Amino acid sequence: MKVTAAQLAALLGGTIEGDPNATVSRPMRIEDAVEGDFAFFDNPKYEHYAYTTRASILLVGADFVPTQPIKTTLLRVPDVRKSLALLLEQFADANTRPAKAEISAQSAIHPEATIGQGTSVGAFAVLEAGVVIGDNCVIAPQVFLGKNVKIGNNTVLHPGVKVFYDCQIGSDCIIHANAVIGADGFGNAPMPDGSWQKIPQVGDVLIGNDVEIGANTCIDRAGMGSTIIHNGVKLDNLIHIAHGVEVGEHTAMAAQVGIAGSAKIGPNCQLGGQAGIAGHITLAKGTRLQAQSGVGSTIKVENQAFFGSPAIPYGDYVRAYIVFKELPDLAKRLRVVEKAIKN
């Protein structure tokens, strides 16, 4: 994506001071920018960079009054943050959305699949019978959508995503590469001879609107009924969500978290990386969990922070761990005391 200062000014309703033909292809922090980058400045603390930046174009507020000579082309806009957000989104879209929607001739789409207006389907994607996709979606190359998968509007499925039969994904969702939605839950009944008998997993996965799911993350279908991911949930990479789990609105999980079967995670929770939640328990609304912690029983009180494996209240863990580190000394002191008493 190469754009000139003139084009940016037109897009953002800004005015140029400098070269209207200055050309940029990448957003960058003001202190790191080089020629060909555009940067922004709206925090007075960073004003000195405005005079030294090597960015080819610098977004500044309409009221910025330089106190030193400016070497770059200035683009003055009414609201730097808003203009920047717009630019970054357009930059990302230009690189991930096809320039115009099209259905690749190299895809494999069942005649009974339905595809909305403005939706793209990439090369080597597979859409099975009964798939229904809304408008303005991007089904990237190498995606697999099983029978009767339903997808809302404006949702992006990145390359290699697999979604299995009957699962539903809402609108404005982003699912990153190689994520797997609706694989069988891990359900096995122990047999008397020590072997396991597979319990058929015939439920589904329901994903709300505005949900983002990280690369290589797995969300299993329920044994029966639904695994539910509510609106606004944000999941990082390599997360495991087992069968029958429910994740409440706006809950965010960092990478490599694992949630065991039928656990119910409340809304507005924040789970640190590599944390684990046991099966069949509930986490209250707003629960915060430190990275690598493990929760083995239900948390009923809302908005509390936990730490450790098994997790205990955050402050308790921190205080206990301080003593843990001194345990050899503690043990020695106890021996001294015992000796003193003995004598």
Taking the complex as a whole, the smallest distance from the CB of residue 276 to a second copy amounts, in Å, to 5
Taking the complex as a whole, the smallest distance from the CB of residue 342 to a second copy amounts, in Å, to 9
The smaller minimum CB distance to a second copy, of residues 198 and 300, is found at 198
Helices assigned H by DSSP within the chain: 5-12, 47-52, 80-96, 314-325, 327-342
The smaller minimum CB distance to a second copy, of residues 15 and 297, is found at 297
Q: Is residue 110 flagged as an active site residue?
A: no
Point out which residues pair with 283 in neighbouring strands: 265, 299
Contact 49, 32 (CB under 8 A): no
Taking the complex as a whole, the smallest distance from the CB of residue 316 to a second copy amounts, in Å, to 6
Taking the complex as a whole, the smallest distance from the CB of residue 23 to a second copy amounts, in Å, to 16
CA distances from 224 to 57, 201, 227, 327 (A): 56, 6, 9, 49
**Cα(288)–Cα(305) distance, rounded to whole angstroms?**
4
The smaller minimum CB distance to a second copy, of residues 170 and 267, is found at 267
Active-site annotation holder among 110, 243, 250, 280: 243
CA distances from 341 to 271, 327, 329, 331, 335 (A): 48, 21, 19, 15, 10
CA distances from 12 to 1, 36, 57, 139 (A): 16, 19, 13, 30
Q: Which two tokens stand for residue 95?
A: 């690189």
The smaller minimum CB distance to a second copy, of residues 17 and 46, is found at 46
CA angle 227, 107, 116 (to 5 degrees): 60
Q: Return the active site residues.
A: 243
